[in-house]
Chain A
Amino acid sequence: MTPDQLSTVVAEFLAAHDPAGERRQFLRDRFDAGLAWLHYPVGLGGLGLSRALQPAVDDAFARAGAPDNEPRRIGVGLGMAAPTVLRHGTDEQRKRYLRPLWTGEEVWCQLFSEPGAGSDLAGLATRAVRDGDGWIVNGQKVWTSQAHYARWGILLARTDPDLPKHQGLSFFICDMHAPGVQVRPLRQLTGEAEFNEIFLDGVRLDDSLRLGEVGEGWRVARTTLMHERVMIGGQAVPREGGPIANLARVWRERPQVRRPGLHDAVMQAWVRAEAIRLTGLRLRQQLAAGEPGPEGSAVKLSFAALIQDLTGLELEVLGGDGLRHDDWSMERDSAVDFLLRSPTHRFLRAKGTSIEGGTSEVLRGIIGERVLGLPPEPRSDVDIPWRELPR
């Protein structure tokens, strides 16, 4: 289908469906017309087209005043759960889960990290034990955003502790409404609680909620994690469109803060920001040309360091005003990008950027081994049963 033919399909859809009508139904109809995510298969919200055609379609819907599916609210579902269900789910699972996921009727969360398994995710301890035609799950998960209003969670659990750690895992869709699932807010150093802790106490899951074969959980999870890195990889932004915007604005608006030492620091940050922006631009050009490069991990790594330095520098530029904070209350879930929050909030929240979605240390290891082909660290945890690993 050419872009022109596609825009005709979109125009016909908009003519037949009132964007001002009932929101849920409109989104369901858009999904059924294959205009939700074009690169998905026909019948699952897509038309099997190139992902590159999506922005034009989204723009056309936005211009017509159509409701969107609030992508921020359902980011985990769109970015991680959906590609995993698509790739590893059965036909029934795809039919059952993808439509309400995309329309936002069912929110998804991710049940991966545990207090004892962060960077070493494959070492996780949450157990799923066979129980007739289902499974009984016990354990604790952490850093789960959107869990307090989620319907489903993608869950990685250990089904065989006698196998080496990567082999004994299975992947489940966790019913967040099942008895034994408890969601508690996890307060973070900014004072708010973006994330949750999840306690799983004798949770019974039907075997139809398993995604992929028993023992194949790690392979399934790699699909999820690959998409997580893509998600964090950065979107197209104009010059000064990213985190440098705040610092540049303060510098322009407040001549009284200008000092030579700070000036060169501001310009160094500006140069880094622009270099990272161009790297992201080049990455997208590579993707568009069908030759994706490994630069995504470079963008994630350098963006985290940049944003931490920038937000720290901004407080120095503000001087006395940098000593004032706006709010320490335990806000639950911010709808606002943290870069639009107060300077002190930005400074503090930025500390998470080099931890979430793969720590910078882990990323450097991945770049060293997978991109540069350097030899791996000697490991003592891959060939012995998970049960025998020191913890």
Chain B
Amino acid sequence: MAGAAEVSGELLYSAIEEELRSSVRGMLTDLCPPSAVLARVDGDEPVDLKLWRVLSKEMGLAGLAVPEEQGGGGASFREVAVVLEELGRAVAPVPYLGHAVVATATLLAAGQAALLRDVAVALAVPFSAFAYAPVAEQVSGVADALAADVLLVPRSDGLYAVPAAETVREPVVSLDETRRLCDVTIPSGVRGDLVVAGSGAVAAVEAGLVAGAALLASEQLGVAQWCLDTTVGYVRERYQFGRPVGSFQAVKHRLAEVWVSVAQARAVARYAASCVASSDPDTAVAASLAQAHCGPVAVAAAEACIQLHGGIGFTWEHPAHLYLKRAKASALALGTADRHRARLAELVDLPLH
């Protein structure tokens, strides 16, 4: 079994990445506080279009992974991962994962990144998709499509770019309303433009799904980190039995375990982002490892957050539920942990039969 090479510092954050994090966090603190997200999930505008405009246009972060000569930011998926960590931390209702990761990786693999310029793009597959499968007229449970201008539609003969306005998008009441799904109907007369034909389409879509699985881990890391930080802050201040509840071992030890798993998720997510950024041959392993590990970590962190907040954690007014819903929905997205373990078994030669 070939071990991954030990490249110095690849699992750390560079100074530039830390700078990027702090500017994204500062912007989200101003524009996307938990109260605003809470208010939005009760309303009719699930996507924060203003925030998306700031993120994509003003800060220019939607095209980070696209080379400059193709109109992008000329950074890499490592920087995209840092943005995702912060978006996860804020459960920000923007189509960043769908556009800047899944659609972008798909179009980069197809050699058609120019299609991303000035529009929001989403891949028209179910958010639970794990592998390439051509879609027919109806696609159910698509993520980040409500705010998209263009949908990438995988058909049996190739991948097509279809103007979203020519499709019917029916919003779905979603487990995670901060990333509301929709059911898409593509009328039979609407074909769109061919992006890439035949096996190139399969490869492009699979590249998009693998990058999505790999980078989603960074968003899950951000979700888990918020849950940990918020809970630690709460149990230090909350008094019962005459002492802070965080001084009780039962509480302290559970949070220690969350911290341990978040520390691991950070290493795993960084590795996955690094692999995608450098088109490492280990990318498929890294992506499946990322989803096998980080999805459950975020769910466990959100569950601990609610449990250790006690009653207030069970209310609608406290934002903890937004993180639980984001964490659980993300764990079901782009392949559940067990599917990724099954894929890993093939990749690392530990077969079931």
Contacts and interface: CB of A to CB of B under 8 A. Distances in A.
A302 interface: yes
B277 interface: no
State which size class the interface on A falls in. 35 or more
B292 interface: yes
Nearest to A293: B263
Given A367-B260, A373-B236, A375-B247, A281 B6 contact: yes
A372 B9 contact: no
A378 interface: yes
B348 interface: yes
Contacts of B255: 368, 372, 374
A260 B348 CA distance: 17
A378 B260 contact: no
A260 B234 CA distance: 42
Given A239-B4, A241-B3, A271-B293, A298 B249 contact: no
Given A274-B289, A364-B253, A298 B341 contact: no
B309 to A, nearest CB: 15
Interface in B250-293: 251-253, 255-257, 259-260, 263-268, 270-271, 289, 292-293
B342 interface: yes
Question: B-side binding surface: helix, strand, loop or mixed?
Answer: helix
Question: How many B residues touch the partner, as a band?
Answer: 35 or more
A268 interface: yes
Interface string A230-269: 0000001111110000001001100100101001101110
Nearest to B292: A271
Contact of B236 (A274, A281, A282, A375): A375
A133 interface: no
Nearest to B262: A298
A264 B344 CA distance: 11
Interface in A285-310: 285-286, 288-289, 295, 298, 301-302
Nearest to B258: A372
19 contacts: A238-B1, A238-B3, A248-B1, A263-B350, A268-B341, A275-B268, A278-B11, A279-B268, A282-B266, A284-B6, A289-B12, A301-B260, A302-B260, A368-B255, A372-B256, A374-B235, A374-B247, A374-B252, A374-B255
Interface of A: 236-241, 248, 251-252, 255, 258, 260, 263-264, 266-268, 270-272, 274-276, 278-279, 281-282, 284-286, 288-289, 295, 298, 301-302, 361, 363-365, 367-369, 371-378
